[in-house]
Amino acid sequence: MLIVPPSMVEVSSDFEDVSTPARPLKVELVETQNQANVWVKFPTELNKEDPNYIASLEQDIHDVFDPGKNKIFAVEKSEVARWLLREEDGTVIGRIAAFVNGKTYTKDDQLTGGCGFFDCINDQDAADLLFDTAKHWLTERGMEAMDGPVNFGERDKFWGVLVDGFTEQNYGMFYNAPYYKDLYENYGFKVYFNQYTYGREAHLRNNDFSETFYKKAQAALDNPDITFRWLSGAEINKGPEYFHKVYNAAWGGHSGVPSMKLEQCQKMFKKLKPIYDKRLIYFGFHKDEPISFFISIPELNTLFKHVNGKMDTLGKLKFLYHKYTGSCNKILGLVFGVVPEWQGKGVETAMIVSWSKIDWSPYETIEMNWCGDFNPKMMKVCEQLGGSIIKTHVTYRYLFDRSKPFKRCPIIG
């Protein structure tokens, strides 16, 4: 285990909402770079014997807590704190962070903060002390509930407890041991929503889809004005524009999804460039007007698992070596959309059939970015893609007023 000589901060017994464990445990506020380094590395040490665990890139985690990198810090009322939990001898046995997100804390029936990046040995006393510490900090800032584990920012990374499907995690997703579910639920957290990861084989098989599915697709496949293709040559530069049109028509501004500006789309495509595989940026067109898309990327953790969390010079060399030697055998599906006027006319199914017939070597499987059970429309899309649930994460909520009725996340759409 990691041992660093700390300036210990014991939990005060004056806090009625902070538990007193049966043995001496010490909570330490992260204030120095050395403490932050220990905090970031702890889950790698904790899971070092688990072959399914892939270390998150250390810089990705540091960036969450860097006001120069994380724009949420600039939002009024946003605040964050982190703690390490140590045995009396200094051994680290847990960590946690707590957040007030100025963009989201007022959007529920009660002021709701968050806790995240929770990692702990299999010890309920230790877990309770970490949760109590986050709860007390949030209570001091006027919060009335906490969600966890969540990120200090958007939902696209570091969100949810893995409760089913204990295989290698996808990039940006948490992996944890099965006992975490009990640590949360024994404390009193309740399921706010489930997060489903759908998966399937990349290549089309004869029995992948039903006869009815093919019939729905056939009308669009037989239409000479409708085509499906990836972008190549100079048309690659039009990818952000095509995406912008379809995304805002299909998702933006409704179903609980904000619209995107063209500049945001351009930045997104620029970020994809280092890992670009043109086959994975797939569009449908009607008379050369974009009407659908399926945007995917190579699943990065199939490459990052070789760098042990470090993208230094050696890590970058390892990443490039495995990228160009075919080590990446998994696709991560990010988003699928069809403009409203073409929905229900076979375009969805035709695009899936067309996509599935591509030669996907060396990819063997595809997993879709997690979909919340509050979004049945997107769950249906994942099922139409031939996917089935292979991993489940959970976002929990804990109401500080234990007499208040608990409500699950409302269904959108």
% the chain with pLDDT above 70: 88
Helix axes of 376-384 and 347-356: crossing angle, nearest 10 degrees: 40
CA 236 to chain centre: 27
pLDDT, residue 237, reads 92
Q: Is 269 helix (H, G, I), strand (E, B) or coil?
A: helix
Same domain, 312 and 264: yes
Instruction: Identify the pLDDT of residue 301.
Output: 74
Question: What is d(CA 25, CA 57) in angstroms, rounded to the nearest whole number?
Answer: 29
Q: How far is CA 292 from CA 216, 217, 250, 257, 258, in A?
A: 16, 14, 9, 17, 18
Instruction: Retrieve residue 353's tokens.
Output: 């059939």
Asked whether 95 and 129 are in contact (CB, 8 A), the reply is no
- Who contacts 385 (Cβ-Cβ below 8 Å, separation ≥6)? 198, 200, 333, 336, 352, 366, 368
pLDDT tens, residue by residue, 16-36: 455 666 678 999 999 999 999
Burial class (CB in 10 A: 0-12, 13-18, 19+), 1: middle
DSSP string, 292-329: EEEEEEE-THHHHTTTTT--SHHHHHHHHHHHHTT---
* Higher-scoring residue by pLDDT: 321, 115: 115
Among 193, 217, 233, identify where a domain stops: 193
Question: Do 209 and 163 sit in the same domain of this protein?
Answer: no
pLDDT of residue 413: 66
Most confident of 199-203, 239-243, 311-315: 239-243
Query: Are residue 166 and residue 208 in the same domain, yes or no?
Result: no
Report d(CA 6, CA 301) in Å as an integer: 33
β-bridge pairing 92-100 and 190-201:
unpaired
Kindly state whether residues 211 and 66 are assigned to the same domain. no
How many domains does the chain divide into?
2
CATH number at residue 137: 3.40.630.30
Cα–Cα dist 342/53, whole Å: 42
* Half-sphere exposure for 103 (CA within 13 Å, toward CB): 10
* Structure tokens given for 129: 């002390």
Does the pLDDT at position 193 exceed 60? Answer: yes
How far is Cα 148 from Cα 185, in angstroms, rounded to an integer?
Answer: 11
pLDDT of residue 113: 97
Phi, psi of 28 (to 5 degrees): -125, 120
Where in the sequence is the domain holding 213, given as residue range(s)?
203-363
For residue 407, is it within any domain? Answer: no
| 48 shares a domain with 108 | yes
Q: What is the pLDDT of residue 306?
A: 64
The pLDDT tens digits for 46-67 are 999 999 999 888 989 999 999 9
Residue 405 lies in a domain: no
Query: So what's the pLDDT on residue 371?
Result: 92
